[in-house]
C-alpha cells in the first residue's frame, strides 16, 4: 500500500509545472480577492450582499470564482493537451522508445516556458475584456473598466513571471537528461530579447499596480473631502427642522457653491420623480443606492462599481412631504485617464530603453567571450585576442579567467600542432618503410627474370661463337640465333622498364615527404602508379582490385601525383583491412567524370564491416581510428587535409555497418 502511495505521489515534470501554475495563481488570487474591491473603491454595502444580487444577479465572490476557475481551467487544459503534449508523451512512454524525437522534446522544453509566459499575459487580458460586461464591472465610464483590466493583467503578469522562473528550473532536469550533443536545440533568441521579454512586462505591471493603488488612495481621500464639503454646504443652506416650498427649494439649490463645473444637484420628490440641474438622469445603481443604503452611510451615495463618481443626499420637508436633495460629483476629472496613459507611455519608453540598453551591454560582453571561444574551437591562432575587462562583477571575473584559458589554449594548440607534424612525419616514414618492403618483394621477380634472360643470352653467345666457321651452320641458323637473342633482350627491356616505373613511384613517394610541387598528370599515369605500389599488399591479402575507368585516361589533373597516389593507397589499405583478413574479396576503384560541374570522382568501395555512425561523423574532423591500438587515426585525417589543401577538392564517405564503405575523392579538373 505504501509503495502504491509513493507511485501515485510521484509526478512527471510537466505535471509539476502545471501544479506549480495552479498553486502560484491560487496564491495570487487569494491575495487579490480581499483587496481588489478595496483598491477599486467598490461602494460599501454592495459586495456579497442582497443589494448586489438584486442588481447584478451574482455576488462579488461568485463572479471572482467564475473568473478564477475559467482562467485556471483554460491554462491547465492548454498546457496539458497542447503546450506540453510532446513532453507528456515522452515522459510517459518515450524515455526508452526511439520513436520519440529527443530534438523535438528539447525544443519544446526550451520554448514552452516563454510561450506560456506570453499567453498568461495575453489570454487573461482578452478574457477580462470579455468579462467587462459582467455585473461586478459593468459601468458607464470607460476608464473604470480599463482600471479593472489593468489590475487583473498586472496580477497575471506577476504570476506569469513566477511561473516562468519555476518552469525553467523544473524543465532543467529533463534538458540535462536528454543532452547528447553540443547544440541549443532551438532558435537562439538572444540575451537582450530575453531580458526585455521578462523584465519589461514585470516592470510595467509593477508600475501599473503602483499607479492604480496610489490613484485609488488619492480618489478615496479626495472623495472624503468633497463629500464632507457638500455635507457642510447642504447643512448650512438647509438647516434642520425647516420646511420649504418647491420654489424656495429650487432657489436655494441654485445658490449652492460647487467645487467643479461638472458637479450638479438633483431633487427627488415624494413620488420618486427625479429632477437634475444638468438634465442628465441619475443611473439606476445610483438611485437604488440612495433608497436602500445611503442612510447607513450618512447620506453618502456611490455611482457604480469602480466608478469614481459619488454623491451626497439630505432629506428635507417640502410642504409636509419628504423630498431628497443631493449633489452628484465626479471625484476625478475626465482627463485623468489621459494623464495616466500619457505618463505610462513616457515611463514605458524610458524603462524600455534602459532595459534594452543595459541588456544589450551585458549581451555584448558575453558575445565577446562567445566569439573568443569560437576562435579557440576553430583553432584560429591569428584571431586569439585578449578580451578587455569592462566591469567589476561576475562578467569581469569570467573575462579574466577566459583570458587565462585562452593564453593556455593557444600554447597547447601550438604544442599540439608541433606534435601533430611529428606524428605525421613518423606516419609517412612508416608508410614508406612498409611500401619499400613490398617493392623489394616486387623487384625480386623482374630481377630473377633479367638474370634468367642474361643466362639465356650467355648460352646463345656461346652457341653463336662455336658456330663460327662451322660449314653445317647456314644463314638461317644465324637468323634464328639472332631472333632468340632479340627475344631475350626484349624481355630484359620489359623488366627493366617495370623496375624503372617501380623506382620512379617509390622515389616520388619519398620525395613527397619533403617536397611539394604543383605539376600536372593524367588519370592513366595515376592509376598506373597505384597499381604498381599496391600490387604486393593486395597479393599478400589475396584481395582483388577492380579498376573501372569511366572517363578518358588522358584527362589531366592539376597537382602533385605522388600526394594523390598516397591518398588513394591509404584508402585501398583501409579497404583491405575492412575485411579483417578474409581472403578472396573485391575492392572497386571507379574513376568517372561528373559532367555537370567538371569534377573527377575517384571512388574506393569495399564490402567489409562498415564504419559505426559515431566514428563516421568524425573521420575528417579529427584523428580517429577503428583499429584500436593498431591505428593512429592519422591516415584519413592526413588524406582529407591533402585533398583540401593541395587539390582544392573534398572527400566524402558512405558506410553501412555490415555492408561496406565507399570513400569518394572529388577533384576539380
CATH assignment at residue 643? 3.30.565.10
Which of 316, 334, 363 is the last residue in one of the domains? 363
Residues 228, 349 share a domain: yes
C-alpha cell at 644: 583540401
- Residue 87's pLDDT is 77
Residue 445 has pLDDT above 60, yes or no: yes
Pairing mode, strands 556-558 and 520-522: antiparallel
Q: What is the pLDDT of residue 300?
A: 94
User: What pLDDT is stored for residue 293 in this prediction?
Assistant: 93
Percentage, residues of the chain above pLDDT 70 = 74
Please indicate, yes or no, whether residues 312 and 322 belong to a single structural domain of this protein: yes
Of 363, 379, 408, which marks where a domain is finished?
A: 363
The yes-or-no verdict on residue 135 having pLDDT over 50 is no
Handedness of CA 572, 578, 579, 580 (dihedral sign): positive
Q: Report which of residues 392 and 496 the model is more confident about.
A: 496
| Mean pLDDT computed over 343-368 | 73
Instruction: Determine, yes or no, domain membership for 77.
Output: yes
> Which pLDDT score is estimated for 418?
66
The segment with the largest mean pLDDT, out of 36-45, 195-204, 396-405, is 36-45
Q: What is the pTM of this model?
A: 0.54
If one counts the domains in the chain, the total is 3
Between CA 392 and CA 394, with CA 393 as vertex, the angle to 5 degrees is 135
Task: Let me know whether 230 and 341 are in one domain.
Answer: yes
| Residues 140 and 229 reside in one and the same domain | no
Residues 561, 666 within the same domain: yes
Q: How confident is the model at residue 632 (pLDDT cuts 50, 70, 90)?
A: very low
Residue 160 C-alpha cell reads as 506569469
Domain-embedded: residue 326: yes
**How much is the average pLDDT of 449-477?**
75
Mean pLDDT score across all residues of the chain: 77
What 3 state SS string does 280-291 have?
A: CCCCHHHHHHHH
Over residues 198-248, the pLDDT tens digits come to 777 777 777 777 777 877 888 888 899 999 999 999 988 888 888 888 888
123 and 99, same domain (yes or no): yes
Q: Are residues 92 and 175 in the same domain?
A: yes
- pLDDT class of 127 with cuts at 50, 70, 90: low
The answer for residues whose C-beta is within 8 angstroms of residue 530's C-beta and 6 or more apart is 565, 568, 569, 572, 589
376 grid coordinates? 579557440
pLDDT confidence band for 589 (50 / 70 / 90): very high
pLDDT tens digits for range 536-566: 788 888 899 999 998 888 888 888 887 888 8
Residues 531 and 647 in one domain: yes
Residue 511: per-residue pLDDT: 53
In a domain, 442, yes or no: no
Q: What was the pLDDT predicted at 606?
A: 92
In the numeric block, which cell numbers belong to residue 327?
449633489
The predicted pLDDT at position 378 comes to 63
Q: Which of 363, 384, 409 is the last residue of a domain?
A: 363
pLDDT band at 296 (very low <50, low <70, confident <90, very high): very high
* Alpha-carbon span 454 to 447, nearest angstrom: 10
Q: CATH number of the domain at 295, please.
A: 3.30.450
178 lies in the same domain as 228 = no
Strand partners, 556: 522
In a domain, 640, yes or no: yes
- Confidence band, pLDDT 50/70/90 cuts, at residue 427: low
Please report whether residue 511 resides in a domain.
no
Residue 337 above 70 pLDDT? no
Q: Are residues 229 and 156 in the same domain?
A: no
pLDDT band of residue 492 (cuts 50, 70, 90) is confident
- Rounded to whole angstroms, the Cα distance separating 439 from 517 reads 24
H or E stretch covering 313:
strand 307-318
Decide if 420 is inside a domain.
no
Residue 447 in domain: no
* Residue 136 confidence (pLDDT): 42
Q: Is the pLDDT of residue 197 over 90?
A: no
Distances (CA, A) of 253 to 239, 246, 256, 508, 563: 13, 11, 6, 121, 112
Boundaries of domain holding 569: 518-669
7 pLDDT more than 70? no
Q: Where are the alpha helices (DSSP H) in 178-255?
A: 191-237, 246-254
Alpha-carbon distances of 414 from 404, 405, 481, 623, 634, rounded to whole Å: 16, 14, 70, 17, 18
In a shared domain, residues 586 and 637: yes
Residue 395 lies in a domain: no
- Based on the domain organization, do 169 and 282 belong to the same domain? no
Least confident residue range of 95-99, 114-118, 126-130, 225-229: 95-99
Q: Which helix (H) or strand (E) holds 606?
A: strand 599-606
pLDDT score of 514: 47
Residue 97 has pLDDT above 60, yes or no: no
Amino acid at each position: 500500500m505504501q509503495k502504491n502511495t509513493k507511485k501515485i505521489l510521484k509526478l512527471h515534470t510537466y505535471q509539476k509545472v502545471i501544479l506549480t501554475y495552479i498553486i502560484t495563481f491560487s496564491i495570487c488570487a487569494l491575495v487579490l480577492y480581499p483587496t481588489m474591491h478595496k483598491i477599486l473603491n467598490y461602494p460599501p454595502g454592495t459586495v456579497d450582499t442582497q443589494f448586489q444580487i438584486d442588481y447584478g444577479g451574482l455576488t462579488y465572490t461568485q463572479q471572482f470564482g467564475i473568473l478564477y476557475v475559467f482562467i485556471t481551467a483554460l491554462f491547465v487544459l492548454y498546457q496539458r493537451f497542447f503546450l506540453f503534449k510532446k513532453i507528456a508523451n515522452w515522459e510517459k512512454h518515450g524515455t526508452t522508445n526511439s520513436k520519440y524525437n529527443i530534438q523535438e522534446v528539447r525544443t519544446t522544453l526550451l520554448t514552452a516556458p516563454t510561450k506560456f509566459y506570453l499567453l498568461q499575459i495575453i489570454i487573461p487580458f482578452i478574457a477580462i475584456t470579455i468579462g467587462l460586461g459582467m455585473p461586478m464591472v459593468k459601468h458607464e465610464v470607460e476608464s473604470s473598466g480599463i482600471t479593472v483590466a489593468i489590475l487583473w493583467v498586472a496580477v497575471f503578469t506577476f504570476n506569469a513571471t513566477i511561473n516562468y522562473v519555476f518552469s525553467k528550473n523544473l524543465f532543467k532536469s529533463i534538458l540535462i537528461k536528454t543532452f547528447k550533443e553540443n547544440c541549443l536545440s532551438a532558435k537562439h533568441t538572444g540575451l537582450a530579447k530575453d531580458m526585455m521579454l521578462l523584465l519589461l512586462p514585470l516592470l510595467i505591471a509593477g508600475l501599473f499596480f503602483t499607479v492604480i493603488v496610489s490613484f485609488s488612495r488619492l480618489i478615496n481621500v479626495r472623495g472624503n473631502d468633497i463629500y464632507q464639503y457638500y455635507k457642510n454646504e447642504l447643512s448650512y443652506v438647509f438647516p434642520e427642522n425647516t420646511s420649504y416650498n418647491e420654489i424656495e427649494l429650487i432657489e436655494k439649490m441654485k445658490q449652492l457653491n460647487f467645487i467643479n463645473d461638472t458637479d450638479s444637484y438633483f431633487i427627488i420628490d415624494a413620488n420618486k420623480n427625479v429632477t437634475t440641474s444638468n438634465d442628465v438622469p441619475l443611473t439606476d445603481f445610483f438611485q437604488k443606492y440612495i433608497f436602500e443604503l445611503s442612510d447607513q452611510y450618512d447620506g453618502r451615495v456611490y455611482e457604480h462599481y469602480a466608478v469614481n463618481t459619488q454623491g451626497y443626499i439630505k432629506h428635507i420637508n417640502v410642504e409636509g412631504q419628504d423630498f431628497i436633495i443631493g449633489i452628484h460629483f465626479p471625484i476625478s476629472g475626465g482627463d485623468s485617464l489621459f494623464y495616466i496613459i500619457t505618463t505610462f507611455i513616457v515611463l514605458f519608453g524610458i524603462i524600455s530603453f534602459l532595459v534594452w540598453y543595459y541588456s544589450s551591454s551585458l549581451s555584448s560582453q558575453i558575445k565577446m567571450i562567445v566569439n573568443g571561444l569560437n576562435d579557440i574551437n576553430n583553432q584560429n591562432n591569428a584571431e586569439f585576442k585578449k578580451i578587455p575587462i569592462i566591469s567589476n562583477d561576475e562578467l569581469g571575473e569570467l573575462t579574466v579567467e577566459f583570458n587565462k584559458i585562452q593564453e593556455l589554449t593557444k600554447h597547447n594548440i601550438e604544442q599540439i600542432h608541433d606534435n601533430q607534424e611529428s606524428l605525421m612525419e613518423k606516419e609517412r616514414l612508416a608508410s614508406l618503410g612498409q611500401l619499400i618492403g613490398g617493392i623489394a618483394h616486387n623487384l625480386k621477380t623482374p630481377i630473377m627474370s633479367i638474370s634468367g634472360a642474361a643466362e639465356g643470352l650467355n648460352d646463345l653467345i656461346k652457341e653463336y661463337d662455336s658456330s663460327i666457321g662451322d660449314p653445317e651452320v647456314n644463314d638461317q641458323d644465324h637468323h634464328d640465333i639472332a631472333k632468340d637473342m632479340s627475344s631475350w633482350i626484349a624481355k630484359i627491356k620489359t623488366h627493366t622498364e617495370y623496375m624503372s616505373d617501380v623506382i620512379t613511384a617509390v622515389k616520388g613517394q619519398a620525395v613527397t615527404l619533403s617536397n611539394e610541387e604543383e605539376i600536372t598528370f593524367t588519370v592513366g599515369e595515376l592509376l598506373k602508379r597505384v597499381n604498381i605500389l599496391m600490387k604486393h599488399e593486395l597479393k599478400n591479402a589475396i584481395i582483388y582490385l577492380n579498376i573501372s575507368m569511366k572517363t578518358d585516361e588522358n584527362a589531366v589533373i592539376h597537382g602533385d601525383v605522388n600526394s594523390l597516389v598516397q591518398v588513394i593507397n591509404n584508402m585501398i589499405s583501409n579497404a583491405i583491412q575492412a575485411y579483417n583478413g578474409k581472403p578472396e574479396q573485391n575492392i572497386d576503384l571507379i574513376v568517372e567524370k561528373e559532367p555537370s560541374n567538371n569534377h573527377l570522382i575517384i571512388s574506393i568501395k569495399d564490402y567489409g564491416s562498415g564504419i559505426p555512425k559515431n566514428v563516421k561523423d568524425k573521420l575528417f574532423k579529427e584523428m580517429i581510428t577503428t583499429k584500436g591500438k593498431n591505428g593512429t587515426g592519422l591516415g584519413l585525417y592526413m588524406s582529407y587535409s591533402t585533398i583540401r589543401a593541395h587539390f582544392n577538392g573534398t572527400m566524402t564517405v558512405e558506410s553501412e555497418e555490415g555492408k561496406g564503405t565507399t570513400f569518394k575523392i572529388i577533384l576539380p579538373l
